[in-house]
Chains A and B, each alone.
Chain A
Amino acid sequence: MRHVIIGGSIAGISAAKAIRQSDPSAEVTVLSGEKARPYYRPMIPFLIRKGDIDITFEGDLEKRYGFAVAYEKAAGIDVAKKEVRLESGRNISYDRLLIATGSRAVVPAIPGIRGEAVFTLRTAQDARSIGKSAEKARSAVVLGGGLVGIKTAIALRKAGLGVTIVEKLDCILPGKFDRRGSEIISNIVEREGIRVLAGMSIVEAVRAEGELRGVRLSSGDTLDAGMLIVAAGTRPDLDAVKDTGIRTQTGIVIDENLRTSVPDIYAAGDVVEYTDLVFGRPAVSALWTNAEEMGRLAGRNMAGGKAKYEGFLSVLNSSEIFDVPVMAIGLVEPDPLSREYESLVEDNVDSYRKLVFKGSVLVGAVFINDVENAGIYTNLIRSRMPIGGLKEEAIKGSLRYINFIRTVPEQTMSA
């Protein structure tokens, strides 16, 4: 069986490993459009300040698992002939195909945005370019107050630049953290000298002789800036599936076995659109963890398995913002008018905890600073296990694995 995988990041590599582990006779080729050895994409903000740290996957994966990586970009797919057409002109045939092309940065159509000193942050190369530019610039503006924007702003601030984050919606981390959590994180970030302008848009990237001078805001004010980082979100990279008939909406639509609408073609990772476990409706997940899982399961299924994929959490973030651990999982900001959800909050000076319940089932959690045992909550959300009478323990943070041990049958406990 010949497997071809378009995309050499985590979804693609996980799938390659999984196929080879399930079927040692399978032939697997990974097509990586990005000419770089596979690396940990979430690490790239660190390259801004130190361009030479090694963030690649360790070891010779190809040798270890027995798949091949070709540094070629896919130009199109002939689903009838079951061939991938490469940019170089070559064609490569497949028995099973996985689309793991990931996502690309969204760049809003703002006058002046095209040109030097404007960056997006999707690749290691992007990060190094930003780092180089930061050596000379004194100030930077980050368009977008999501996690990428914040991490970029932090890296630039630590490099000594004056940094402003401009976020269109009225709080940073929209959709990723709840309102109060965003407020707390915003305070932390501002305390460290990064300015946050929420409820504000950039209407123009101001240039003089082509050189970036600053940005003009929707308020009318201008900000000086030697660099502009566009971190306005990502969307699935659907270029490779143009004219293939593979069903897409925002992303490629898959079924519970990670198959697309075309037989023998699978999809995994950021490019996919699938059920969010707590929102109960299709969503796109631009998260590493989900991409790894989808790639792994898709690979298993491509090799003949029947792994069922229930869905992902499109909110599943853990990070450190200036030494403060922050986590958000699931449905973190329920509709205030909805009576279906119950939010429990412990908002203290040195820690913030919020749990969102739908009846007896946990659907969302936010933890700032007090993050011990967070995985127990993630597991509750994913498994939809009813919490019983333990809500008080849960919000106080005294919930432990042992509280759920009785859900295991008695016989396995002792003999």
Chain B
Amino acid sequence: MKQIFVRPELCMGCRSCEIGCAVQHSKDKTLFSAVLQSPPPSPRLFVESAEDIKMPVICRHCEEAPCLNGCISGCLYRDEKGFVRRKKERCIGCWSCMMLCPFGVITRDKEKRIAVKCDRCHKLDLPACVNACPTGALQLVDLDEVPKEIRSRTVLSGARAYRP
């Protein structure tokens, strides 16, 4: 299964991911029209920083998603790819999902009064945020491949350190 993997050590805090996400979720899906759109589109991920780390905080589409479990209107559901998505017409703006998401990645559309969250750009091959990232801090990876990659990198760095 493909997941978005965040590498905070590569994050520059440039927020290109936020821009890419907002543009993808705008009416016309171009930067210039998105900038002129009223109200402007919102990103579904958030670049945050604390002390020496910067990183995008994204929706994990959790297997046991507190937002989905706590939704009282039947708006949030899990689609066939496993992504937690909204049936916008069923959202009543109770904000229970916001109250439950431990990552703080659900926000409000104050005009439409509905919850806004990442939909994993389910219509695209590559999510907009991953596409926009200039350093590879956001990557689309095969979950099964990730441990293998981490192992080989660990071995390599260990080998380098070991060489006298």
Contact = CB atoms under 8 A, between A and B. Distances in A.
B57 A401 contact: yes
B48 interface: yes
A60 to B, nearest CB: 14
A399 to B, nearest CB: 9
A235 to B, nearest CB: 21
Contacts, number: 116
Contacts of B27: none
Given A320-B94, A374-B98, A58 B70 contact: no
A325 B70 contact: no
Contacts of B55: 402, 405
A351 interface: no
A403 interface: yes
Interface residues of B, number: 41
Nearest to A46: B92
B69 interface: yes
A415 B73 contact: no
A42 B102 CA distance: 22
B88 interface: no
Interface in B104-119: 104-108, 113
B125 interface: no
Given A40-B74, A375-B66, A402 B53 contact: yes
A123 interface: no
26 contacts: A42-B73, A43-B74, A318-B94, A319-B94, A320-B95, A329-B99, A371-B108, A372-B107, A373-B104, A374-B95, A375-B98, A375-B99, A375-B104, A375-B106, A376-B103, A400-B48, A401-B103, A401-B104, A402-B57, A405-B8, A405-B55, A406-B51, A406-B53, A413-B9, A413-B53, A414-B9
Interface of A: 40, 42-43, 46, 55-58, 288-289, 292-293, 296, 316, 318-320, 323, 325, 327, 329, 371-376, 378-379, 400-403, 405-406, 413-415
Interface of B: 7-9, 46, 48-51, 53, 55, 57, 66, 69-70, 72-74, 77, 87, 92-96, 98-108, 113, 149-150, 153-154, 157
Given A42-B73, A288-B70, A379-B102, 7 more contacts: A40-B73, A319-B94, A325-B95, A325-B108, A372-B98, A373-B104, A375-B101
